[in-house]
Chain A
Amino acid sequence: MSGAAISHLSVDFATKGGIHHAVRDISLAAGPGRILGLVGESGSGKSTVALALMGLLAGNAEVTSGALQLGSESYDLARAQATAALRGIRMAMIFQDPFASLNPVFSIRAHLTEVLSRRSPELDGEARNRAAMEALAAVGIDRPEIRLAQYPHELSGGMRQRVAIAMALLVRPDLLIADEPTTALDATVEAQVMQQICGLRDRIGCSILLITHSLGLVAQYCDDIAVMYAGELVEQGSVAAVAAKPGHPYARALLACEVTIDAPRGADARASRFRIIPGDLPDPLHLPSGCIFRTRCDMAIADCARIVPPPVTVNGEPGHVARCIRVNEK
C-alpha cells in the first residue's frame, strides 16, 4: 500500500452573493500507516476537503479540479460520483457527532453487518455476526454480544464513537477520514478514542486524515501536519519538523495560541489573557491578491500583495513546505 495523495483540489460553492472559491489548489499526502493532522480555523475549508474526497458535498458545491491517488489508482475528483464506488470499501469516514452519524432506528449489529454486506458480501450471516462482535471487542467495548443488540441511544458518546471506529475497522479502508472525532468527548474518552484510531491504523496500515482543532492532539498522535487558511494550504510537513520551525507566519501564530495544560499560571486567574491572531478571515467573495494571509500578517511586505507564494522547502527539510515568500529569511 502506498498511501493516499490529493492533488490540486479546488472546490467552489454557488451562493447568492456569487461563486465562493472555498478550497483552492490543495495538494496533500498521507503516507501508508501514517496519520496526517489537518488543522486551521473554522471556515478554512478542512471539512470541505474531507467531503470532496468522500463525494458528500452539498448540491451547490462543485469540485472544479483535483485528483485522488490511492495506491496505484488515480481518481478524477471533478467527475460526478468519482469516489462513490470507494466509499465503504477503500475509504471510510468517522464524523464528529456519533449520535448524528449512527442511525437511531438500527441496532449496533445492523450498523456493523451493513458495512460487511458491502465490504465482504461473501460472508454469511453467522460470519458477519462474528466479525461484528470481534470488531467491537477490538475497539475495547466489553460484552460485545449485549452491545450488538442495543441501539445508539443506549450507548455513551465515547461508546458510540467506538462503534463508528469498529465500522471503519470492518471496512479495512486504504484511507480513513476522521472529522473532529473527539470534539464532543471529554479528555479521558478522547484519549481512549485516539488510541483506538491509532490501533486501527496499526492493524490495517491505512492512511488517516485527522481533522481537528486540537493542536495537542496533533502533537500527540499525528505523524504529519497540514495547516489550512482561508481555503488554501499554507504549510505541510512532519509534526517534528513543523513544531521545530513552523515556516508560515499563520502556522506560527496558530501554534502560539494553543493553550497547554502546564502553561504558566499567575496567582490571579483574573489576569489570565489568551493569545489570539488579530484580524478576521478574508471575505470569501473578495479575497486579497497575492498571499492569502497578508492582511493579518505582521511580516507582510509590498511583494506579498503581488506574488502568490509558491510552496518553499523550509530549513532544507524534505517534505516540509510553507507558502510564504519570506520563509527562509532568518
Chain B
Amino acid sequence: MTAAISIRDAKLRFGHTQALDSVTLDVAPRDCFGLVGESGSGKTTLMRVILGLERLQSGSIRLFDAPLKSGSAGIAQRTRLVQAIFQDPAASLSPRRRIGQLLDEVGEVLGEARDSIRARQAALFQRLGLPPGTVDKYPYQISGGQARRVAVARALLMNPRILIADEPTAGLDVSVQGDLLNLLQELRADRDLTLVVVSHNLAVVRLIADAAAVMHRGRIVEQGPAAQVFDGPAADYTKRLLASWPRLRWHALGSNLE
C-alpha cells in the first residue's frame, strides 16, 4: 500500500538546534496519525516540512509516493494534497477581512469560478454546522469553536487528501473540543481524508489516532499503533510523558467516596 506520507531519514538543523534528527515515518492513507511530544520536540517543524514550509537538509519526503517538485510548481502540487488548520484560528484568519472574503480567496488560488466556490462553501458550512450568516462576519465576531470550523472549511475547500491539525483542541473547553473532534472523525470517514493531529493532549490523541509517534528533541523515540504507544509504551520518555498526565478522575474520585 502506498503511504500517504513517507519520510525517510529527515534532518533539519536550525543554528545549534537539531530540530529533526533522522526522522523516519510512514502514515497510511485514511489513517489518523497522532504526533505528540513536548514543546520544542520538533512536532511543528515536522508538520511544516510536510506542508512544504521548511526544506529538509537531508533525507526525503514523499506524499502518495509522488516525488515533490521544487519551487512554485512544488507549492502548487502540495497545496492540493495537504492542508492544515493552525493552532490559533484567530491569528490564522486575517482580522481585516470578512470570513466570506477569506474563503473566496481559495477560489482564486484554484482558479475556480466565484459561483462554484461559493456553492461549495455554502454546502461545507452546512456540513460543519456554521450559520450561513458567518460569511458576513469578521473573525473577531465569531467564537473560538466557530473560528476553528472556518479554518476547517478553508482547508477542505482545497479538496486536500491530507489534513494536518496543529493543536486543534488548545484553548477549547471539553464540550466544544468534543464537538470539533467528532467533526474531524466524520470528515475523515466521509472524505477519505488522511489526518495528522499534532497535539500535546495525550488523552485525545490516544482515542482518535490509529497510529502515533512520540517526539523528543527532534527524534522519534517511539512509534506504532496508538493502542500500543499509549497503553503499552516501550520508550522511557513515553512512559514519563504518560505518567505526568493528570490521572485522578472525577468518577474515580466519586466512586472512592461512595
Contact = CB atoms under 8 A, between A and B. Distances in A.
Interface of A: 40-43, 156-158, 180, 183-191, 213-217, 219-221, 239-240, 243-245, 253-255, 257-263, 265, 267, 269-270, 272-277
Nearest to A264: B207
Contacts of B201: 259
Chain B CB within 10 A, most for which of A217, A243, A259: A259
A158 B32 CA distance: 29
A220 B245 CA distance: 10
Contacts of B242: 187, 261
Contacts of B200: 185-187
A274 B38 contact: no
B14 interface: no
Contacts of A261: 202-203, 206, 230, 242, 245-247
Nearest to B186: A273
A277 B39 contact: no
**The 5 A-B residue pairs with the shortest CB-CB distance in the complex, in nearest-first order:** A274-B178, A216-B246, A186-B38, A243-B253, A257-B174
Given A213-B173, A243-B257, A259-B174, A270 B246 contact: no
B247 A270 contact: no
Contacts of B66: none
The SS class assigned to the A binding surface is loop
A269 B32 contact: yes
A185 B241 CA distance: 12
A274 B241 contact: no
B29 to A, nearest CB: 13
B39 A216 contact: no
Contacts of A239: 253
B77 interface: no
Given A188-B240, A274-B178, A277-B175, A244 B257 contact: yes
A274 B186 CA distance: 12
Interface string B187-227: 01100000000001111101111100000000000000011
Given A42-B144, A265-B231, A260 B171 contact: no
Given A43-B143, A190-B244, A263-B207, A219 B250 contact: yes
B40 interface: yes
Given A189-B39, A213-B172, 13 more contacts: A42-B143, A183-B171, A187-B38, A188-B241, A191-B246, A219-B250, A221-B246, A240-B253, A254-B173, A259-B174, A274-B177, A274-B178, A274-B181
B49 to A, nearest CB: 20
The SS class assigned to the B binding surface is helix
Given A157-B39, A187-B202, A213-B172, A269 B254 contact: no
B39 A259 contact: no
Contacts of B244: 187-188, 190-191
Contact of A216 (B143, B170, B231, B245): B245
A306 B82 CA distance: 52
A272 B175 contact: no
B76 interface: no
A42 B176 CA distance: 9
A263 B248 CA distance: 12
Contact of B206 (A184, A244, A265, A270): A265
Contacts of A273: 182, 185
A271 to B, nearest CB: 8
B171 A213 contact: yes
Interface in B149-168: none
A270 B207 CA distance: 9
20 contacts: A186-B200, A187-B241, A187-B242, A189-B38, A213-B174, A214-B246, A216-B249, A243-B250, A254-B173, A255-B250, A258-B249, A259-B201, A260-B247, A261-B202, A263-B206, A269-B209, A269-B226, A270-B185, A275-B175, A276-B182
B89 interface: no
A244 B185 contact: no
B37 interface: yes
B249 A219 contact: yes
Given A156-B40, A258-B249, A42 B172 contact: yes
A192 B196 CA distance: 28
B179 interface: yes
B241 A216 contact: no
Chain B CB within 10 A, most for which of A187, A216, A273: A187
